[in-house]
Amino acid sequence: MSKKQTTQQQRRDFLKASAATGVAASVPLIFSKGAYAAEKFRNDPGTGKSIKFGFNVPQTGAYADEGADELRAYKLAVKHLNGEGDGGMLNTMKPMSLKGNGVLGKKVEYVTGDTQTKSDAARASAKRMIEKDGVLMITGGSSSGVAIAVQGLCQEMGTIFMTGLTHSNDTTGKDKKRYGFRHMFNAYMSGRALGPVLEKEYGTERRAYHLTADYTWGWTQEQSMKDTTEALGWKTVKTVRTPVGAGDFSQYITPVLNSGADVLILNHYGKDMINSLNQAVQFGLKDKVVNGKQFEIVVPLFSRLMAQGAGDAIKGILGSTNWNWQLKNAGTNAFVKSFGAEYGFPPSQAAHTCYVQTLLYANACEQAGTFYPPEVIRTLEDFIFDGMGNGETLYRGADHQCFKDVLVVRGNPNPTSQFDLLKVEQVVPRSKVEYDPSIFGGELGPYKV
Partner 1 sequence: MMKLSLKSNWVIMLVFAVVVLTAPLWLTPIGANYPDLLQKFAIFGLFAIGYNILFGLTGYLSFGHAAFLGVGSYTAVWSFKLLSMNVIPAVLFSLLVSGVFALLIGYVSLRRTGIYFSILTLAFAQMSYSLAYSVLTPITNGETGLQLSLQDPRVLDAMAGVAKTEGLPSTNLFGQIMSGYPGFYFCAALLIIGFYISLKIFRSPYGLKLMAIKSNQTRMKYTGFNTRPYLLSAFVISGMYAGVAGALMAVTDPLAGAERMQWTASGEVVLMTILGGVGTLIGPLLGVGIIKYFENIFSALNEKVLHEVFSALPDGLENLVVSVTELFVGEGWHLTLGTLFMLVVIFLPGGVMEGVTRLITAGKRMLGIRASSGSAGDEK
Binding site for partner 1 (CB under 8 A): 28, 32-34, 59-60, 64, 111-114, 118-120, 123-125, 127-128, 131-132, 145, 148-149, 152-153, 155-156, 170, 214-216, 241, 243-244, 443, 445-446, 449
Q: Give least dist CB 405 to partner 1, A.
A: 29
Q: Give least dist CB 186 to partner 1, A.
A: 15
- Of 178 and 286, the one with the shorter C-beta distance to partner 1 is 178
- Of 119 and 349, the one with the shorter C-beta distance to partner 1 is 119
Residue 330's alpha-carbon distances to 88, 189, 274, 299, 343, in angstroms, are 10, 24, 31, 29, 20
Q: Give least dist CB 174 to partner 1, A.
A: 9
Q: Give least dist CB 107 to partner 1, A.
A: 13
Q: Give least dist CB 44 to partner 1, A.
A: 16
251: CB partners within 8 A, 6+ apart: none
Decide if 242 contacts 212 (C-beta within 8 A): yes
- Of 83 and 391, the one with the shorter C-beta distance to partner 1 is 83
**Residue 104, by phi and psi: left (phi above 0), alpha (psi -120 to 50) or beta?**
left
User: Residue 321 pairs with which residues in a beta bridge?
Assistant: 407
- Of 92 and 155, the one with the shorter C-beta distance to partner 1 is 155
Instruction: Please name the amino acid found at residue 55.
Output: F
Sheet strands (E) in 143-190: 160-163, 180-181
Q: Give least dist CB 33 to partner 1, A.
A: 6
- Of 138 and 313, the one with the shorter C-beta distance to partner 1 is 138
Q: Give least dist CB 321 to partner 1, A.
A: 24
Distance CA(177)–CA(448), nearest Å, equals: 12
- Of 163 and 426, the one with the shorter C-beta distance to partner 1 is 163
Q: Give least dist CB 220 to partner 1, A.
A: 11
How many Cα atoms are found within 13 Å in the side-chain-facing hemisphere of 417? 6
- Of 242 and 353, the one with the shorter C-beta distance to partner 1 is 242
Distance CA(367)–CA(380), nearest Å, equals: 10
Distance CA(350)–CA(355), nearest Å, equals: 9
- Of 36 and 323, the one with the shorter C-beta distance to partner 1 is 36
CB count in 10 Å sphere of residue 127:
16
Distance CA(417)–CA(298), nearest Å, equals: 23
Q: Give least dist CB 446 to partner 1, A.
A: 4
Distance CA(42)–CA(154), nearest Å, equals: 11
- Of 196 and 245, the one with the shorter C-beta distance to partner 1 is 245
- Of 196 and 445, the one with the shorter C-beta distance to partner 1 is 445
Distance CA(383)–CA(402), nearest Å, equals: 9
Distance CA(130)–CA(47), nearest Å, equals: 19
Q: Give least dist CB 205 to partner 1, A.
A: 32
| Burial readout 167-206 (b: 16 or more C-beta within 10 A, e: otherwise) | bbbbbbbebbbbbbbbbbbbbbbbbbbbbebbbeebeeeb
Distance CA(27)–CA(206), nearest Å, equals: 66
